[in-house]
Chain A
Amino acid sequence: MDPGDRLKIREFVAEQLRERDDHAAFADGESLIKAGRLDSFAVVKLVMFLETDFGVDFARVEFDPQRFDSVDEMAAMVEEARAG
C-alpha cells in the first residue's frame, strides 16, 4: 500500500483516539478495539472514512468489526477492496 494512504488511515485513527481523550502512542499493528481504545462508534466513523476516502464497498469486502482493530488490518482491507 502507498505509504501516504497508510499515513492517512493512521491520522484518522489518531483523530478518533484524540476524540476519546486518548493521546497515547500506538503502533500500526496494535490492537485498538480489543484493548478498548476504540469502540463501535469509532468503527462507524472508520467505515464511512474507508468508503468515502478509499472507495471500499462493504457489500463486496467482508465486513467484520474486528478488521478495524489496527491500522495494518484496515490497510489490508483497502488493499483487498482495490484488488477485488
Chain B
Amino acid sequence: MALAWNSALRRWGIGAHPLDWRLPPIETYPAVVAFVQTVAGKLALFVAFALLLKPLTPLWLELTLAAAVVSLAGPYRPLAAFACTAAMIVRTGYGYSLKTMQAAVGQENLGAGIHYGYLIAGSLLAVVALSAAAILLARRFRDHPIGRRPVLLQHMLWFALALLASSQLLHGLPQVLLWSLVATFSACFWFLAYALLDQRQRQPAPLLLQLATFHPFFGQDRIPMGKSAGNWRNVEAPDAAELAVTQLKGLKLLAWAIVLKGLLWLFRRVVYGTFGVLPLTDAFDRFLQDGDAPLPFGFVSILANFPEQLLTVAVTGHVVIAIARLAGYRLLRNSCRPLSSRTIAEFWNRYFYYFKEAMVHVYFYPTYLRWFKRHPELRIAFATFMAAGVGNFFLHFVLNNDKIVQHGLFGALLRMEAYAFYCAVLVAGIVISQLNAHQPDPQAGWWRRQLLPSLGVAAFFCFLSFFDGIRPASLRLHFDFLFKVFGVDQWIRAIV
C-alpha cells in the first residue's frame, strides 16, 4: 500500500525526501504526450508556453511564435530556423550593442549624419557574407595546411581588424564603418568559430543551418547556446512523439524558470530590502567614489551577490533552452544544480554549460590534441589554461570591444586586469580539481561526501565572482575593497 502510494506521489513529482521533489514529469504521461500531438494539443501547448513566458521576457509573443513555426516546419525546419533567426535579429538586434559604434561616432565627431540602423544592417550583411565565405572556404580547403586551422585564422583576422581600427589610420566615416564591422564581427565571433569547427566533420550541416545558429531565434546574444549546426542536427526531435516529449520538457523548464525568478525576486526583496544589504555593485561603486565600504557587514554584499548571480544565469539559460525545446531541439539545460558540485571543474560545467562548452570546443580540444601528448598532467593543465584562461579572457575582451575604441587595444587590455586575475585563479582551481579527481568514498556520510566539498566549491566561486568583471577597476582596488570589508586593511596598515 505504502509502495503504491509512494509510486503515485512520484508520478506527480513528489519524492520521499523534499530534496527529491520535482515538477510533475508531464513528458512521461502517455495521455499528455498523445494530446500534444493533436492540433488542439499543440495550440494549448503554445498558449500555455506563451503565458508562462510573458512574465519572463517582453518578447514572449515573438519568441513563442518563432519556436512554434520552427516546430511545425517538419522537413523545412532548417529553413524555418534561418527565417526566424533573421526575423528575430531584425526585430530585436540580438547582441548588436550600439556602444562601440556610438563611441566611434563620438571620436570622429560625426554625430548628426549617422543612422545607426543602416550601420548595423550594413555591418551585419558584411559579416554574414564574410562568415558564409569563411565557412565555404573552410569546407573547400579542409585538408590544406592553412585550412586545417580555420579558427586560428579567425582569431588572427579579428586581431588584424581591431589593430587596424585602433591604430587610427582611417578617419571619419571609414573609421566608423571599420569599428562597426569589428563590433558586429565580435558579436558573431563564437557562432562563427563553432561553424568553422563544424566544417571538420565528415558531413557538415548545410550553410543555411550554419547561419541559422548565429544569434538563433530562441534568443541568446553572446554565447552560442545550442552550440553548432552539427549539434542542432543531432538534437533535433526525430518524430512527432519525441517532438511532443521535447516540447513538454521545454514547458516544464519554463515553469521552473518562473519558480526561480520568483525565488530571485524574494531573495532581492528580503536581502536588499528587508535586511538592507547593499548590492555588491552599489557597495563597490561607493567604495570607488569615496573609499567608503559598508561596515561591519560589507562582506555580506559579496556573499549575497553569488546566489543572485546563480539564479540570474539559471533563469536566463532556462528560458533560452525552453524556447529551443519548444521548437523541437532536445538541448541540454544550461545550468544544472551547480551547488551540488563537489569539484571546481564540475561547478564550471554545471553553472554555465554552453559557455564552458564553447571554451572547450574552441580552445581545449585543439590544444589537448596537439600539445604535450607525452605529459598527461601538463597536457590537461595547458589545455585548461587555454580554455578557462586564455579563451575565457579573450571572449570577454572581444565582447567589450567598446573599451578598445575608448582606450585603445593595450589600454583596454590593462583595464581587464581584475578579470585576468579571475581567469588565472579559475584555471588553477580547475587544474587542481581535475588532477586530484577521485571517486567519492561511498562509505563517507552525506556531510563528508557531498556537503563539505560543495560548500568549499561554493565558497571558492563566491570569492571569485567578485572579480568577474563587476566594474572595470584595477586589481588593487578590488583587493582594497576586499581587505576593507573583511577588516583586514587595519592589520595590513599595522604591519606595514
**A-side interface residues toward B, CB under 8 Å?**
18-19, 21, 34, 36, 39-41, 43-44, 47-48, 51, 58-59, 62-66
Contacts and interface: CB of A to CB of B under 8 A. Distances in A.
Contact of A63 (B345, B365, B373): B365
A3 to B, nearest CB: 27
Contacts of B434: 41
A64 B228 CA distance: 12
A62 B434 CA distance: 25
Closest 5 CB pairs of A and B: A40-B360, A36-B332, A58-B369, A19-B439, A39-B349
Given A62-B202, A64-B201, A47 B234 contact: no
Nearest to B439: A19
B10 interface: no
Contacts of A43: 365
Interface in B328-353: 330, 332-333, 336, 345, 349
A82 B439 CA distance: 32
Contacts of A47: 368-369
Contacts of B345: 41
Contacts of A44: 364, 368, 380, 383
B234 A66 contact: yes
B253 to A, nearest CB: 13
Contacts of B368: 44, 47
B235 A40 contact: no
Interface residues of B, number: 29
B99 interface: no
Interface string B447-486: 0000000000000000000000000000000000000000
A41 B349 contact: yes
B147 to A, nearest CB: 14
12 contacts: A18-B439, A34-B234, A36-B332, A39-B349, A40-B364, A40-B365, A44-B383, A62-B200, A64-B202, A65-B365, A66-B201, A66-B231
A48 B316 CA distance: 35
Contacts of A65: 361, 365
B233 to A, nearest CB: 10
A51 B368 CA distance: 12
A21 B230 CA distance: 29
B360 A48 contact: no
Nearest to B357: A40
B437 interface: yes
Given A34-B234, A48-B376, A40 B200 contact: no
B356 interface: yes
A21 B369 CA distance: 28
A63 B369 contact: yes
Contacts of A21: 440
A48 B383 CA distance: 13
A47 B440 CA distance: 23
Interface in B222-268: 230-231, 234-235
Nearest to A45: B437
A51 B374 CA distance: 11
Contacts of A40: 349, 356-357, 360-361, 364-365
Contacts of B202: 62, 64
B200 A34 contact: no
B230 A66 contact: yes
A83 to B, nearest CB: 15
Contacts of A19: 437, 439
Given A34-B234, A41-B345, A63-B365, 13 more contacts: A18-B439, A19-B439, A34-B235, A34-B330, A36-B332, A39-B349, A40-B361, A40-B365, A44-B380, A47-B369, A62-B200, A63-B200, A66-B234
A34 B330 CA distance: 9
Nearest to A48: B376
A58 to B, nearest CB: 5
Contacts of B383: 44
A39 B227 CA distance: 14
Contact of A51 (B201, B332, B364, B373): B373
A58 B368 CA distance: 10
A3 B360 CA distance: 32
Contacts of A59: 369
A64 B336 CA distance: 24
Contacts of B336: 36
B469 to A, nearest CB: 24
